Chain A
Amino acid sequence: MSPAVDQVALAEALNAAYAAGALERPLALLAETRAAMGAVPARDLALSEAVAVAAFEAQRPAPLARDALERVLALAAVAGQERPAARFESDDSDPIWREVQALPGPTRAAAQAALRAGKWGGGLGVKALPLMEVDGCRAELLRIEPGHGAPRHSHEGAEYTLVLTGAFDDGLSRYIAGDIAVAGPRVTHRPIAEPGAVCYALAVTDAPLRFTGALGLLQSFLRH
């Protein structure tokens, strides 16, 4: 069975919200990761961003305070400048580490950063690596071995799960790499990885209450 959610419309809504900056960081990671998984999604996200930037350049300027440049230069002098970070030291003897190296760039980078500070959790056949949390919106990387499933769970906010490798079935639909499964609040579901390859997925749980952005933009995709 194919995904219940209209993947094209969902991608359009995600890309638009991403371009405008209306997504919380964990959902922005999901949009960036999906774009990194193919030339067409990458082109569409870049195009979305280019539309936003064209509007930004055409934005009617709002003058700043008279002393703004001086203030900024003074604070900038105190803050100094950053240099690009050194490459993360790899541990190629660890097979899971090697799998992580093969994940799409944005999620791989987030996983590398997360592994500096934390580690994988989870149980038999399923591992979870928390990647980031911003104001109740959380992203985690799931590693599900064939035939295993994420523990049956429900959530107060919406959950968006992007399949990175392999495929899973949540009992209602089948999702392959590049698909996004969407579950609304209070839905109880249990994604199970198909036989064959290990399934990696990026799961983003939205907070139940939002100030702005993601929920309002994406709520029409929720399955209740």
Chain B
Amino acid sequence: MLEAQARIRTALASPAPDHRASGPDRERFADLMGRVADAQDRDAFAELFAYYAPRVKGFLMRIGAGEALAEEIAQEVMITVWRKAALFDRTQASVSTWIFRIARNRRIDAARRANKPELRADEPGLAPEPQIAPDEQLSAAEREGAVREALKDLPPEQYALLQAAFYEGLSHSEIAAREGIPLGTVKSRIRLAFGRLRAKLDGDV
């Protein structure tokens, strides 16, 4: 409960990210990952670091980590990016998705380490098996591009609720408390917004 309140306070204190900004150059970033894996290319890594490390740290602070812990974990995440670069498969995920998976794997780890410093988490989801046949599936890049386009069309209040649930990881009741709207409204708005994204993606297939 205390942690949830801390997260809500933190979220209130920081402005919503601008989801309308264009994303990184996905092909280039995937190439950079290849250079890190194949040639231990430090320049390629430095470019990835410049884009991702501050976002990882920002994410961790947004969900309630203190500055020092966020810095420490962001550095650990980037070490993991170097160490596991060969597991990155550009046909399965974008670099953003892959690095965000590492960062979010540390999320609960961060909460736990505030209490028990010796514990570490494993790294799920970095080399996942294809979940459905490739010909039935939008490529990771196509899906992310389509979601980005669809998010632009959502009303800002619906986008804010999606972000609270899917990025910050707040429960519907925590969102209702933060936004000062009834629980039922939170549930129906999230379902409506998610339904719009779904319809947009299915329409594009």
Contact = CB atoms under 8 A, between A and B. Distances in A.
B84 interface: yes
B121 A62 contact: no
B54 A72 contact: no
Nearest to A135: B112
A135 to B, nearest CB: 6
Contacts of B128: 32, 105-106
Given A47-B197, A82-B83, A72 B78 contact: yes
Given A19-B166, A22-B108, A42-B131, A62 B58 contact: yes
Given A47-B194, A57-B96, A212-B111, A17 B42 contact: no
A68 B53 contact: yes
B122 A54 contact: no
Q: Which secondary structure dominates chain A's binding surface?
A: helix
A12 B194 contact: yes
A51 interface: yes
Contact of A213 (B85, B163, B169, B191): B169
B167 A56 contact: yes
A21 B107 contact: yes
Given A54-B148, A79-B79, A216 B171 contact: yes
A29 interface: yes
Contacts of B55: 56-57, 59, 61
B32 interface: no
A115 interface: no
Nearest to B102: A21
Contact of A28 (B4, B124, B136): B124
Contact of B71 (A9, A23, A49, A65): A65
B165 interface: yes
Q: Which secondary structure dominates chain B's binding surface?
A: helix
A58 B107 contact: no
Given A20-B104, A22-B107, A47 B198 contact: yes
B82 A81 contact: yes
Interface string B117-131: 001011011011111
B104 to A, nearest CB: 3
A44 B190 CA distance: 13
B144 interface: yes
Nearest to B198: A47
A21 B104 contact: yes
B87 interface: yes
Contacts of A22: 107-108, 169
Given A20-B168, A52-B104, A54-B151, 15 more contacts: A24-B108, A25-B121, A28-B124, A47-B198, A52-B166, A54-B144, A56-B55, A56-B100, A56-B103, A58-B17, A62-B57, A68-B49, A76-B82, A105-B131, A134-B121
Name the 3 nearest CB pairs between A and B, nearest first: A21-B104, A20-B169, A61-B54
Interface of A: 9, 12-13, 15-17, 19-25, 28-29, 32, 35-36, 39, 42-44, 46-65, 68-69, 71-73, 75-76, 79-84, 105-106, 109, 134-135, 211-213, 216-217, 220
20 contacts: A12-B194, A16-B166, A19-B104, A20-B107, A20-B169, A21-B169, A47-B194, A51-B166, A51-B197, A52-B100, A56-B167, A57-B23, A58-B19, A64-B54, A72-B49, A73-B82, A76-B83, A105-B131, A135-B119, A217-B169
